[in-house]
C-alpha cells in the first residue's frame, strides 16, 4: 500500500493513503488489519480523507511501516461479522441528515412567506397525529405535549415558534437515534463470535479444523462449555443449551436428536453432534442487534425511572399551563409553561448518558450488555474474584510432568493432552500447548469423554478407565490410590505449582505441575478497587488451601476461600445479596458460570471459557485487571453525570417556567432556551467519561 506521513510523534502517527477514494468496506478492512497488530494500541480510520491515526508501541515503528507497506485490501480478510456490525456507513448517513436539516433550516428563510407557512403546516401533521394517537389510548404523554405546543402556536399564527419547536425536536430525535444505533452496533460487534476452530466429525474420528473449512452438511461436535458456531440440527447426543443471547430465555434448553441449535448459544451440560445448516455470520449479527434493541437490559434503573417520570410529569405541565392562564389571563404566559417541560430533556439526556458509557467501555475492549450493569457496578460493595485465569495469568504453562509406576513422562502428557483438548479452560490449554511444544502428536485414542464440572474428566483408553482432574476428584471421588513405592516421590512434589492428577485404573499415573503465575498488576488493582469504594474483596478458588493462602497474601484480598465448588461460590454471593450488598463476580471458567449468573454483575475475562463470556453481563477483553478499575470509575462517572443532568434539568426548566409566568420571557424565547438546553445536555452526554490517561 502507498501512503504518506502527515504528522508523527513517538508512539503516534497520522497517515494518508494514496488513493482517489476510500470506500466504507476498505476503511473497515484497514481498521481491522491495524487493530490486530499486537503493537498497535488504538486506531481511527477516516474514509472521507483516506487518513488513519495510529497509536502504537513507540519502539516498533519500523514493524508498523513495513506491515503497512505489505498491506493489500484484497488480501485482508476481516470476519463477516466485523463488517456486518460496522457503523461507518450509519455514521455518514446521520451526519448527512444533521447537515441537511440545518442547511435547509437556513435556506427556508429565503422562501416566500406563504411557502414557509405551508411547509410548517405539513411538518406539523406527524406531530399532531402522534399526539392524537396517545389521546386515543387515553394517555397523556410527551407526544401530546409536543402536539399541543405546536398546535397552539399554529392557532395563534405564530409559525416561527412552531417551526423552531419542530426543528429542535427533529434534531433531538436524530441525535438520540444516532447515539443509540452507534452504541448498539459497538455492542453487537463485541458480542459477535470469535471461534476459530471446531471439531468436525469425519467418519468415526474427529478432526480439529478451521471454521473456514466447514460447509453446510458437515457434522460438528460441541463439548460442554463451548460456543455453537453455526446454526444446525442435532444428530447425536443431548445437551442443556444456554440460548439467552438469542431468545432471552434465562434457563438452559434441552436439545436432543432433531433439535435446532443456533450460532452463538452455549452448551452448559452434555455434548452434541449437529449438522451445519447455515454458516453466514450476518444472520447472527442481525439477531444480536434485534436482541439488544428489544432488551430491557439496555435500561438502567435510573434511566427507566427518568423515562417514567417524564411521562408522569406531562399532566402537571398541562395543569401548570391552565393555572397560569386562569391567574393571568395571558395566553403568552400560559404558553411559556407549555413550551417548557421536563420530559424531553429527561428522555433524551439519560439514555444518551448510559449508551455513551457503554460505547466508551467498548473502546477499552470491555463489553457491557446493558446500562443496569454499569449502575450496579457503580454501587457494588462486594467483589468476588476467581483465582485461576483471573488473579493469575490467563495462560498458565506446564512446568513439569512427574510420572509414576514406571511410566514415561511424555506418554502421560500425550494422554492428558488428548483428554484435555476438548475443553476450554486455561489449565487444559496449558497441557495441550505443552504437548504441542514437545511435538507429541496423537490421534483420538480414547472413548467418549465425560466432563464433570469443577472436578475433572473421565474416559476410557482401551479397557482402562482414565481420570484427570483435581486432588479431591481423583483421590476422594474416584477412590484412586498411590502405589507404596511411589509415596516418597509423591510427597516431594513441589507445592508452589498447581497440580493436575492423572490416574489409570484407579492408580495414580502422573502429576502435571502447572505454573500459574500471578498477574503483575493484581495487587495494584486490588488496592485501587478498594480505594474506589469496594468494602469487601474476596478470592474464591478450587485450589488447595496452601496455594490459595499464598496468593491471597500477595494480592491483599480481605478474605479467601479454598477448595470451593461452583455451588459454594454461588451460595456465598446469594448470601451477600440477601444481606443487602450489591455483588460483582469476576471469573473465567466453566465452574464460574453459576456464580456469574447469581451476582448482580457477572464479569468474564476474555481468555476464559465461552460459557463464562456468554453468561457474564460484562466481558473484559483487555487481559488486564486494571480495566476493572477503569470500569468502576466509568460507572461512577456515568451515575454522577446522570444525577448532575437530572438536577440541571429541574433547575433550568423550573427557572424558565418561572420567567415565562412572570412575563419576562415570551413563548418563543422559552421554547428556544428549553430545546437548546435539552440538546446541550444530550450533546454533553456524548462526551468521554474517563480522562485521556485512561484511554487505550
17: pLDDT confidence band, cut at 50, 70 and 90?
A: very high
283: pLDDT confidence band, cut at 50, 70 and 90?
A: very low
Q: Specify the higher pLDDT residue, 167 or 622.
A: 167
CB-count exposure of residue 37 (10 Å: 0-12, 13-18, 19+): middle
Mean pLDDT, rounded, for 48-54: 93
pLDDT at 447 over 80: no
525: pLDDT confidence band, cut at 50, 70 and 90?
A: very high
pLDDT at 585 over 90: yes
Q: Lowest-pLDDT range, 39-48, 70-79, 84-93?
A: 84-93
Q: Which of 369, 424, 417, 420 is nearest to 394 (CA)?
A: 424
Q: Lowest-pLDDT range, 123-132, 542-551, 556-565?
A: 542-551
- Residue 268 CA: distances (Å) to CA of 297, 381, 427, 617: 22, 29, 19, 17
For domain 3-78, give the fold: Alpha-Beta Plaits (3.30.70)
Q: Which of 277, 240, 282 is nearest to 262 (CA)?
A: 277
Query: What distance in Å separates the CA atoms of residue 695 and residue 271, rounded to the nearest whole number?
Result: 41
pLDDT at 9 over 60: yes
Q: Which three cell numbers stand for residue 527?
A: 488496592
pLDDT for 295: 44
pLDDT at 401 over 70: yes
Q: Specify the higher pLDDT residue, 246 or 585.
A: 585
CATH of 197-293, picked from 3.40.50.720, 2.30.33.40, 2.70.150.10, 2.60.40.10, is 2.70.150.10
Whether the CB-CB separation of 286 and 307 falls below 8 Å is answered with no
pLDDT for 519: 87
CB-based burial, 447-474: b 16+ in 10 Å, e otherwise = eebebebbbbbbbeeeeebbbbbbbbbb
Question: Cβ atoms within 10 A of the Cβ of 242, count?
Answer: 23
pLDDT at 192 over 70: no
Residue by residue, what is the 3-state secondary structure of 16-48?
Answer: EECCCCCCHHHHHHHHHHHHCCCCEEEEEEECC
Q: Which of 387, 424, 400, 164 is nearest to 271 (CA)?
A: 424
Mean pLDDT, rounded, for 9-15: 92
pLDDT at 419 over 50: yes
pLDDT for 282: 43
3-state secondary structure of 96: helix
159: pLDDT confidence band, cut at 50, 70 and 90?
A: confident
Whether the CB-CB separation of 280 and 296 falls below 8 Å is answered with no
Numbers of helices and strands, H then E, in the chain: 24, 24
Which stretch, 189-203, 539-553, 662-676, has highest mean pLDDT?
539-553
pLDDT at 535 over 90: yes
Whether the CB-CB separation of 458 and 450 falls below 8 Å is answered with yes
- CATH code reported for the domain at 366-393+519-632: 3.40.50.1000
Q: Which of 454, 425, 475, 476 is nearest to 567 (CA)?
A: 454
Q: Which of 481, 451, 449 is nearest to 469 (CA)?
A: 451
Q: Lowest-pLDDT range, 188-202, 466-480, 639-653?
A: 188-202
Domain 397-515, CATH 3.40.718.10 — does that match? Answer: no
pLDDT at 161 over 50: yes
pLDDT at 543 over 70: yes
pLDDT at 204 over 80: no
Q: Which of 237, 281, 244, 279 is nearest to 259 (CA)?
A: 237
Q: Lowest-pLDDT range, 66-70, 614-618, 668-672?
A: 668-672
pLDDT for 379: 93
Whether the CB-CB separation of 601 and 373 falls below 8 Å is answered with yes
Which residues, 6+ apart, have CB-to-CB distance to 86 below 8 Å? 24, 28, 185, 189
pLDDT at 580 over 90: yes
pLDDT at 645 over 80: yes
Residue 365 falls in which region: left (phi positive, over 0), alpha (psi -120 to 50) or beta = left
Whether the CB-CB separation of 39 and 21 falls below 8 Å is answered with no
The DSSP line for 539-550 is: EE-SS-HHHHHH
Bridge partners, 401 (sequence order): 512
pLDDT in tens, 241-275: 877 655 545 567 889 999 998 877 788 778 899 99
696: pLDDT confidence band, cut at 50, 70 and 90?
A: very low
Residue 392 DSSP label: B
556: pLDDT confidence band, cut at 50, 70 and 90?
A: very high
Mean pLDDT, rounded, for 455-477: 85
Query: What distance in Å separates the CA atoms of residue 653 and residue 320, rounded to the nearest whole number?
Result: 13
Mean pLDDT, rounded, for 30-57: 90
What is the Rg, in whole angstroms, of the alpha carbon atoms belonging to the chain? 30
pLDDT at 281 over 70: no
pLDDT for 27: 92
296: pLDDT confidence band, cut at 50, 70 and 90?
A: very low
Backbone angles phi, psi at 266, to 5 degrees: -130, 140
Report the predicted TM-score, pTM, of the whole model to 2 decimal places: 0.66
Q: Which three cell numbers stand for residue 310?
A: 417524564
pLDDT at 28 over 50: yes
pLDDT at 285 over 90: no
277: pLDDT confidence band, cut at 50, 70 and 90?
A: confident
Q: Specify the higher pLDDT residue, 84 or 169.
A: 169
Amino acid at each position: 500500500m502507498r501512503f504518506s506521513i502527515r504528522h508523527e510523534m513517538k508512539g503516534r502517527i497520522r497517515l494518508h493513503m494514496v488513493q482517489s477514494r476510500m470506500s466504507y468496506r476498505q476503511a473497515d478492512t484497514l481498521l481491522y488489519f491495524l487493530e490486530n497488530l499486537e503493537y498497535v494500541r488504538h486506531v481511527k480510520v477516516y474514509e472521507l480523507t483516506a487518513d488513519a491515526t495510529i497509536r502504537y508501541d513507540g519502539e516498533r515503528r519500523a514493524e508498523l511501516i513495513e506491515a503497512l507497506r505489505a498491506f493489500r485490501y484484497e488480501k485482508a480478510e476481516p470476519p463477516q461479522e466485523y463488517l456486518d456490525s460496522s457503523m461507518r456507513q450509519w455514521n455518514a448517513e446521520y451526519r448527512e441528515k444533521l447537515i441537511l436539516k440545518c442547511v435547509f433550516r437556513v435556506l427556508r428563510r429565503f422562501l416566500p412567506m406563504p411557502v414557509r407557512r405551508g411547509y410548517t403546516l405539513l411538518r406539523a401533521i406527524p406531530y399532531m397525529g402522534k399526539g392524537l394517537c396517545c389521546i386515543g389510548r387515553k394517555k397523556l404523554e410527551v407526544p401530546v405535549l409536543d402536539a399541543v405546543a405546536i398546535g397552539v402556536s399554529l392557532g395563534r399564527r405564530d409559525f416561527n415558534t412552531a417551526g423552531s419547536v419542530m426543528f429542535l425536536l427533529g434534531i433531538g430525535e436524530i441525535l438520540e437515534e444516532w447515539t443509540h444505533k452507534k452504541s448498539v452496533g459497538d455492542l453487537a460487534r463485541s458480542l459477535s463470535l470469535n471461534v476459530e476452530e471446531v471439531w468436525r466429525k469425519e467418519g468415526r474420528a474427529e478432526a480439529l479444523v478451521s471454521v473456514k473449512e466447514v460447509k453446510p452438511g458437515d457434522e460438528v461436535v460441541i463439548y460442554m462449555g463451548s460456543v455453537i458456531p453455526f446454526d444446525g440440527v442435532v444428530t447425536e447426543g443431548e445437551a442443556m443449551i444456554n440460548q439467552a443471547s438469542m431468545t432471552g430465555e434465562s434457563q438452559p434448553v434441552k436439545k436432543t436428536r432433531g433439535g435446532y441449535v443456533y450460532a452463538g448459544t452455549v452448551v452448559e451440560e452434555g455434548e452434541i453432534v449437529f449438522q451445519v445448516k447455515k454458516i453466514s455470520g450476518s444472520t447472527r449479527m442481525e439477531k444480536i442487534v434485534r436482541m439488544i434493541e428489544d432488551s430491557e437490559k439496555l435500561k438502567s434503573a435510573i434511566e427507566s425511572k427518568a423515562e417514567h417520570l417524564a411521562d408522569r410529569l406531562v399532566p402537571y405541565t398541562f395543569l401548570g399551563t391552565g393555572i397560569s392562564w386562569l391567574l393571568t389571563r395571558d395566553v403568552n404566559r400560559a404558553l411559556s409553561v407549555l413550551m417548557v417541560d421536563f420530559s424531553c430533556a429527561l428522555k433524551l439526556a439519560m439514555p444518551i448518558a448510559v449508551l455513551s458509557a457503554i460505547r466508551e467501555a467498548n473502546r477499552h475492549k470491555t463489553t457491557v450488555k446493558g446500562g443496569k450493569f454499569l449502575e450496579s457496578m457503580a454501587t457494588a460493595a462486594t467483589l468476588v474474584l476467581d483465582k485461576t485465569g483471573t488473579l493469575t495469568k490467563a495462560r498458565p504453562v506446564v512446568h513439569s510432568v512427574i510420572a509414576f509406576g514406571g511410566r514415561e513422562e511424555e506418554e502421560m502428557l500425550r494422554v492428558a493432552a488428548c483428554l484435555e483438548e476438548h475443553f476450554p479452560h486455561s489449565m487444559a490449554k496449558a497441557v495441550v500447548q505443552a504437548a504441542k511444544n514437545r511435538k507429541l502428536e496423537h490421534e483420538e485414542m480414547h472413548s467418549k469423554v465425560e466432563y464433570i464440572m469443577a472436578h475433572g474428566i473421565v474416559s476410557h483408553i482401551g479397557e482402562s478407565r482414565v481420570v484427570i482432574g483435581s486432588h479431591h476428584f481423583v483421590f476422594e471421588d474416584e477412590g484412586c490410590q498411590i502405589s507404596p513405592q511411589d509415596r516418597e516421590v509423591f510427597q516431594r512434589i513441589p507445592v508452589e505449582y498447581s497440580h493436575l492428577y492423572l490416574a489409570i485404573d484407579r492408580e495414580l499415573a502422573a502429576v502435571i505441575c502447572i505454573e500459574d503465575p500471578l498477574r503483575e498488576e493484581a495487587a495494584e488493582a486490588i488496592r485501587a478497587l478498594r480505594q474506589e469504594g469496594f468494602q469487601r474483596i474476596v478470592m474464591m478458588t478450587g485450589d488447595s488451601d496452601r496455594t490459595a493462602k499464598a496468593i491471597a497474601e500477595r494480592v491483599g484480598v480481605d478474605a479467601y476461600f479454598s477448595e470451593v465448588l461452583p455451588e459454594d461460590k454461588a451460595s456465598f454471593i446469594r448470601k451477600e445479596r440477601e444481606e443487602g450488598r450489591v455483588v460483582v463476580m469476576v471469573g473465567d471458567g466453566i465452574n464460574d458460570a453459576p456464580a456469574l449468573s447469581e451476582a448482580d454483575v457477572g464479569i468474564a475475562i476474555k481468555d476464559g471459557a465461552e460459557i463464562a463470556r456468554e453468561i457474564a453481563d460484562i466481558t473484559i477483553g483487555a487481559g488486564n485487571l486494571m480495566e476493572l478499575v477503569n470500569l468502576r470509575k466509568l460507572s461512577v462517572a456515568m451515575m454522577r453525570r446522570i444525577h448532575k443532568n437530572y438536577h440541571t434539568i429541574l433547575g433550568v426548566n423550573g427557572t424558565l417556567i418561572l420567567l415565562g409566568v412572570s412575563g419576562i420571557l415570551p413563548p418563543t424565547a422559552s421554547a428556544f432556551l428549553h430545546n437548546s438546553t435539552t440538546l446541550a445536555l444530550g450533546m454533553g452526554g456524548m462526551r468521554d467519561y474517563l480522562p485521556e490517561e485512561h484511554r487505550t
